[in-house]
Amino acid sequence: MTASNSNMPANFIEGIIDEDLKYNRYGGRVHTRFPPEPNGYLHIGHAKSICLNFGIAGKYGGLCNLRFDDTNPTKENVEYVESIKEDVRWLGFDWGDRLYFASDYFEQLYRYAVQLIKAGKAYVCDLSPEEIREYRGTLTEPGKESPYRNRSVEENLDLFERMRAGEFPDGSRVLRAKIDMSSPNLNMRDPVLYRIQRATHHRTGDKWCIYPMYDFAHPLSDAIEGITHSICTLEFEDHRPLYDWVLDALGFGEGRPKQIEFARLNLSHTVMSKRKLRMLVEEGYVSGWDDPRMPTISGLRRRGYTPGAIRDFCERIGVAKSNSLVDIAMLEHCIREDLNFSAPRVMAVLRPLRVVIDNYPEGRVEMLDAENNPENPDMGSRKIPFSRELFIERDDFMEDPPKKFFRLAPGREVRLKHAYIIKCERVVKDEQTGEVVELHCTYDPGTRSGSPTSTRKVKGTLHWVSAGHAVGCEVRLYDHLFLKENPEEDEDFMANINPNSLITLTSCLVEPGLAGAAPGSRYQFLRQGYFCVDPDSTADRLVFNRIVPLKDSWAKIQKAVGNGPDKR
C-alpha cells in the first residue's frame, strides 16, 4: 500500500488524531475498529471504511479490531460472518487476535442498562411501536411524554428483568432512555434501548429474548474495547449526541471513544446498500452475492479485481465530509493501472472468423516468439504456434470498408501480431445467408516479426490464433448493472437495471498456452481488455470474465482537465 510519506495528515480524520496525540488525550493510543453488521456481503463502500480504519491504525502504530455488530438476529447469519472475514483478509488486513462480536457483550450491556435504570435514566415503556412513533413528534413539533415515563426505579427494574425472563410477548414493551421528548434531535426523544424479540441468534442461540439497539450497543462496545476513534459514515452524525449521552450517563469520562463521521462512498451505475444488493440476489437479477457485476468485494474478486487495485482506489477517492458520487471509471482505471504491468498479454479471438493462408505449406507449424508484456520486460516471452489455418476476430474484417478501416478487407494487407503480413485474396460466403464464413489470404514470408528482412510496414495489426492449436472457451462480457448514473435517486431502482449487463460468448478461442489456466489467473487479451479465469472453469472448459475493456475513460477525463494519471 502506498502510505503517505509526509507528516501531513492525509485527511481531516488524521488531523483530529494528530491533535489528540499532541494533547495526549488517549495516552498516545490510536485504536479503531471496523464494525460490520453480518446481514449481507461487504461491498466496495465497506472497503473504503476498512482501508480507512486499518490504514489509520497502521499509520499510527495503533490497532484495529474487527467487530461484528450482531444485535439484529433475524437478519444476520454465520455465512455473512465468514464471508466478511474472508473479504477483510483478502483486502490485505489483519485484525490479529482482536475478532469481537457485540453479542459477546450482551450480559455486560444488560448490566449497563440496569445501571441506567437505577440512575433514573431509563424506563420500561408499554406503548406499542405505532404509539411510540406517534408520540415521537416531528421535526417541527415536539414529542409527547410516554405515560410510562415516570415509573419508579423498582418497577422498571422488575419489568426489565421480566422482559429478559421472557414473561412478555414480542413488541409489548421496550426499554427507553429518559432524555428529552422536546429535543430538536429526534434521536434524543427517549430512544428505544432494548426490544423484546424471540429470535434465535447465530451465536447466542435462544439465550436472549431481548436485544439491544444499535445506538446503545455501539458506543458501549467501543468503550469496552478501548476504541479511541470510532469512525462511521455521515448518516450517524445525528446519532452522535446519543452516542455521547450513553457514555456520559454510564460515567465514561476521559479517554472514552469519540465518534467521527465521514462521507460514504457512492459509485456511479450501481447501488451500494446491502438491502438493495440482497434484492438483486434474491430476485435473481444476478447469480449471487459474488456475481462479477456486483459491487461486492466477493463480486469484484471474482471479476478479477486485485486487492491492490481496490486499496489504490480507496486511497485516491480520499476521505471527505460531504457525500458525492464517484465515477465507476475511476475504479476501472485503478485495475488497468495494476494489470498493465502485471498481466501477461496473450491473444484470444472472441468472435472467430476462419482464415486460410493459401501459400503457407499444409502441415507446417512455426513456433513464433511472443513477448509477454512490453511494459514489463522481466515477464519474458513465450512461443506461439502459427499454421496455415487461423482465426481472426470477425469485427476485424469488412467486405466493403470505409477508408480509415485499417484492418482486413478484400485486397488489403495487415500484420498478424508476432507473425507475418497477410493479404486478403478471396472471400467465401454462406450460399444461403450471404454471411462471410472464411477468408483466403496469402502471406509474405519475408515479413516475419523480429526478422532482419522484415522492413515493410502496414497500418493495422490484428490478433489471431492458430486453428489447430487454439483452446475453446467461454467469455463473459460485463457492463454496468444500472443504466443510470445514480439509480439510487429513484424509488424503484430495479426499473433501471441494464438488460445487457452480461453477454456470454461461447465459441471463443485462446492461444494454447492458456489451457488449464487456474481460476483467478489474469490476462490482457490483446486489443480487447483484461480478463480473469472464473471459478466456473473446469479441466476441459475455460471460462473467462472480462474485468474491464482496454479503453480508459477515466484517464481521458483526467487528461482533459490537465491532471493526467500518475505515471509509475
- Pick between residue 232 and residue 309 the one whose CB is nearest to ligand ATP: 232
- Name the burial class of residue 96, with classes exposed (0-12), middle (13-18) and buried (19+) by CB atoms within 10 angstroms of its CB: exposed
Residue 167 is a catalytic residue: no
Q: Which of ligand ATP, Mg ion, none binds 267 (CB below 5-8 Å, type-dependent)?
A: none
Q: How many C-beta atoms surround the C-beta of residue 383 within 10 A?
A: 13
- Pick between residue 36 and residue 344 the one whose CB is nearest to ligand ATP: 36
* DSSP one-letter string for 184-235: SSGGGSS-EEEEE----BTTTBTS-SEEE-HHHHHHHHHHHTT-SEEEEEGG
Judge contact between 345 and 524, C-beta under 8 A: yes
Binding residues (CB under 6 A) for ligand ATP: these are 35-37, 45-46, 48-49, 69, 232-233, 264-265, 272-274
Whole-number Cα distances in Å, 100 to 70, 395, 434, 532: 10, 55, 67, 35
In the complex, what is the shortest distance from the CB of residue 9 to ligand ATP, in angstroms, rounded to a whole number?
19
Q: Rounded to whole angstroms, how far apart are CA atoms 76 and 26?
A: 34
Q: Rounded to whole angstroms, how far apart are CA atoms 74 and 197?
A: 9
Residue 155 near Mg ion by CB under 5 A: no
In the complex, what is the shortest distance from the CB of residue 235 to ligand ATP, in angstroms, rounded to a whole number?
8
In the complex, what is the shortest distance from the CB of residue 391 to ligand ATP, in angstroms, rounded to a whole number?
44
DSSP class of 263: P
Q: Which of 274, 336, 388, 412 is catalytic?
A: 274
Q: Which of Mg ion, ligand ATP, none binds 49 (CB below 5-8 Å, type-dependent)?
A: ligand ATP
Q: Rounded to whole angstroms, how far apart are CA atoms 37 and 80?
A: 9
- Pick between residue 45 and residue 58 the one whose CB is nearest to ligand ATP: 45
Report which of 266, 232, 220 is spatially closest to residue 44, judged by C-alpha positions: 266
Grouping H, G, I as helix, E, B as strand and the rest as coil, residue 423 is strand
- Pick between residue 47 and residue 163 the one whose CB is nearest to Mg ion: 47
Q: In this structure, which amino acid lies at residue 509?
A: L
- Pick between residue 37 and residue 366 the one whose CB is nearest to Mg ion: 37
Report which of 140, 319, 134 is spatially closest to residue 231, judged by C-alpha positions: 319
Q: How many C-beta atoms surround the C-beta of residue 149 within 10 A?
A: 15
- Name the burial class of residue 104, with classes exposed (0-12), middle (13-18) and buried (19+) by CB atoms within 10 angstroms of its CB: middle
- Pick between residue 227 and residue 421 the one whose CB is nearest to ligand ATP: 227
Q: Which of Mg ion, ligand ATP, none binds 407 (CB below 5-8 Å, type-dependent)?
A: none
Enclosing H/E stretch for 260: strand 258-262
In the complex, what is the shortest distance from the CB of residue 49 to ligand ATP, in angstroms, rounded to a whole number?
4
* DSSP one-letter string for 348-406: EESSEEEEEETTSPTT--EEEEEES-TT-GGG-EEEEEE-SEEEEEGGGB-SS--TT--
Residue 121 is a catalytic residue: no
Using CB under 5 A as the binding criterion, the count of chain residues that bind Mg ion stands at 1
Judge contact between 261 and 323, C-beta under 8 A: no
In the complex, what is the shortest distance from the CB of residue 68 to Mg ion, in angstroms, rounded to a whole number?
12
In the complex, what is the shortest distance from the CB of residue 51 to ligand ATP, in angstroms, rounded to a whole number?
10
C-alpha cell at 249: 450517563
Site string for Mg ion, 27-66 (x = CB under 5 A): ----------x-----------------------------
- Pick between residue 38 and residue 62 the one whose CB is nearest to Mg ion: 38
Report which of 90, 128, 102 is spatially closest to residue 36, judged by C-alpha positions: 102
Q: In this structure, which amino acid lies at residue 235?
A: E
- Pick between residue 32 and residue 373 the one whose CB is nearest to ligand ATP: 32
Residue 155 is a catalytic residue: no
Judge contact between 415 and 461, C-beta under 8 A: yes
Footprint on residues 264-303 left by Mg ion (CB under 5 A): none
Q: Which of Mg ion, ligand ATP, none binds 394 (CB below 5-8 Å, type-dependent)?
A: none
If phi over 0 gives left and psi between -120 and 50 gives alpha, with beta otherwise, what is residue 558?
alpha
- Pick between residue 53 and residue 156 the one whose CB is nearest to ligand ATP: 53
Grouping H, G, I as helix, E, B as strand and the rest as coil, residue 413 is strand
Q: Which of 98, 136, 144, 264 is catalytic?
A: 264
Q: Which of ligand ATP, Mg ion, none binds 46 (CB below 5-8 Å, type-dependent)?
A: ligand ATP
In the complex, what is the shortest distance from the CB of residue 37 to Mg ion, in angstroms, rounded to a whole number?
5
In the complex, what is the shortest distance from the CB of residue 138 to ligand ATP, in angstroms, rounded to a whole number?
24
C-beta nearest to ligand ATP: residue: 45
Q: Which of Mg ion, ligand ATP, none binds 48 (CB below 5-8 Å, type-dependent)?
A: ligand ATP
Q: Which of ligand ATP, Mg ion, none binds 299 (CB below 5-8 Å, type-dependent)?
A: none
Q: Which of ligand ATP, Mg ion, none binds 204 (CB below 5-8 Å, type-dependent)?
A: none
Judge contact between 27 and 228, C-beta under 8 A: no
Q: Which of ligand ATP, Mg ion, none binds 265 (CB below 5-8 Å, type-dependent)?
A: ligand ATP
In the complex, what is the shortest distance from the CB of residue 271 to ligand ATP, in angstroms, rounded to a whole number?
9
Judge contact between 293 and 286, C-beta under 8 A: yes
C-alpha cell at 80: 455473512
C-beta nearest to Mg ion: residue: 37
Question: What are the catalytic residues?
Answer: 37, 264, 274
Binding site for Mg ion (CB under 5 A): 37
